[in-house]
Amino acid sequence: MRAIDLSSTNLQDEQIDDLCNYLDSKPPLYSITLNNNPFTDSAMTRLTDTLKKNDVVCHLSMQDCFMVTNAGLLMLLDVVNYYNMVLF
């Protein structure tokens, strides 16, 4: 599996943590779609920490994840600018 679409699956912080545990093993997954899910900045902290170490994922979509604040998005911007520059 190279891409996964988890849109509108009611993913919350706990499930994002599970996803990050999987991503820590650096599977050949290059695209993750998380659109329209209610996870929070706490999950963004975990996700961005994971993406700092994962150089395989190069696409992440999070449209309509309204529980993520500007602070969470700034964490992701930091990852894109300084750690995983192929991520878009």
Question: Structural domain boundaries of the chain?
Answer: 3-82
Residue 84 has pLDDT above 90, yes or no: no
Output b/e per residue, 34-46; b: 16+ Cβ within 10 A: bebbebebebbeb
Over residues 59-81, mean pLDDT = 95
DSSP code of residue 36? S
DSSP code of residue 9? S
DSSP code of residue 51? H
Q: Under CATH, to which class is 3-82 assigned?
A: alpha beta
Q: What is the pLDDT of residues 10-64, one digit of tens each?
A: 999 999 999 999 999 999 999 999 999 999 999 999 999 999 999 899 999 999 9
DSSP code of residue 88? -
Instruction: Note the pLDDT of residue 88.
Output: 60
